[in-house]
Amino acid sequence: MIAAIQALLDGLMIGGVYAVISIGLTLVFGVMGIVNFAQAEFLMLGMFTAYYAWAWLGLDPLIAAPLAFAVVFVLGAAVHHLMIRRVLKAPEVAQVFLTVGLLIVLENAALLMFGSGFKSVATSYQTSALHLGPLFISVPYLAAFLMSVACGAVLWLFLERSWFGRAMRATAQNPMAAKLMGIDSDRMHRTAFALGVGLTAFGGAVILPYLTVSPTVGDQFVVLMFTVVVLGGLGSVAGAVVGGLAVGIIQSISGLLFPIQMQNLVLFVVFIFVLAIRPEGLLGRAR
């Protein structure tokens, strides 16, 4: 019983982080209809930004997370301007493979710039845990979880309350009508893409205290992120939160019932099953 509660707790915390890194992916799809296969590379760039902020400036990754967001936000706007906006009307396959090309470029550019080593930060709270009776709460997990919750709350306020956020949602729901209302759709797309990759980078920074970063770290997350957003419903921000928590908990609980080697197997089988019976995702609206 204790083991089950512990697993649930661990799954919840890691799931919160999965949610934040995946929100960007679902946001980009929701607003512009593009599935960005290179999304996880922006996670890697966020981790590297936080790493260098720690190595050169002595900043804790949790404090450097907004910096990682800002750096990748600017980069994302540039990527959108140079590439993504040119394929918005192209066939789906061309969009997918443009982002696959971007994935290859970013991963190898990082290899050239940052070297191939695994880099990690050393922080004071890295190896500490809170004890709640028989339960353990890892402090770096908790910190990442809380940062993710804060980030999600700010995003929610932005999308719900600000004019810009509402305009962005309007563009997602009905691009034509939004245009008629005088909303500059190119600007919306650029902002959505930049915001999307920036959020993922933010998530990368907050998980750095308990992970390591290398140019190929994105490979570990790419399929996972897709699972999260599809479970929640592609394009749904609230869905990504539900999907993230679901993936975290499935991973954690399956570790109790099956060999840990089967962790991802269980996850993908659940994923295909959910798609088969409810393709719009757990929360998504039918498309």
- Contacts (CB under 8 A) with other proteins, residues 172-211: 210-211
Considering beta carbons, is residue 114 or 156 the nearer one to other proteins? 114
DSSP 214-273: -TTTTHHHHHHHHHHHHHH-TT-HHHHHHHHHHHHHHHHHHHHHS-GGGHHHHHHHHHHH
Burial class (CB in 10 A: 0-12, 13-18, 19+), 57: exposed
Side-chain-side CA neighbours of 246 within 13 Å: the count stands at: 26
**Nearest distance in Å: CB 83, other proteins:** 7
Determine if 126 is a binding residue for other proteins (CB under 8 A).
yes
Q: Is 35 in the site for other proteins (CB under 8 A)?
A: yes
Asked if 268 touches other proteins (CB under 8 A), the answer is: yes
| 3-state secondary structure at position 91 | coil
Q: Does position 5 bind other proteins by CB under 8 A?
A: no
Q: Nearest Cα to 163, choosing from 200, 144, 142, 188?
A: 188
DSSP code for 87: G
| Chosen residue from 57, 74, 78, 117 binding other proteins by CB under 8 A | 117
Pick 85 or 179: Cβ nearer other proteins: 85
Pick the stretch among 1-9, 68-76, 152-160, 237-245 that binds other proteins (CB under 8 A).
1-9
User: Smallest distance, Å, CB 229 to other proteins?
Assistant: 9
Q: Which of 156, 126, 154 is nearest to 142 (CA)?
A: 126
By CB under 8 A, is residue 260 in contact with other proteins? Answer: yes
Closest to other proteins by CB, 122 vs 176, is 122
**By the rule CB under 8 A, 29 interacts with other proteins:** yes
- Please tell me whether residue 257 binds other proteins under the rule CB under 8 A: no
Beta strands in the chain (DSSP E): 129-132, 135-138
Q: Is 132 exposed, middle or buried (0-12, 13-18, 19+ CB in 10 A)?
A: exposed
Q: How far is the CB of 287 from other proteins (least distance, A)?
A: 8
Shortest Cβ 59–other proteins spacing (Å) = 18
Is there binding between residue 92 and other proteins (CB under 8 A)?
Answer: yes
With vertex at residue 169, the alpha carbon angle to CA 164 and CA 175, rounded to the nearest 5 degrees, is 105
The only residue of 162, 173, 174, 220 in contact with other proteins, by rule CB under 8 A: 220
Report phi then psi at 217, rounded to 5.
Answer: -60, -25
Q: Which two tokens stand for residue 206?
A: 């907050």
Q: Which of 30, 152, 203, 215 binds other proteins (CB under 8 A)?
A: 215
Whichever of 69 and 210 has its CB closer to other proteins, that residue is 210
- Distance set, CA 173 to CA 133, 141, 143, 201 (Å): 48, 35, 35, 26
Total residues at interface with other proteins (CB under 8 A) = 81
Residue 109 or 132: the one with the smaller Cβ distance to other proteins is 109
Say whether residue 251 binds other proteins (CB under 8 A).
yes
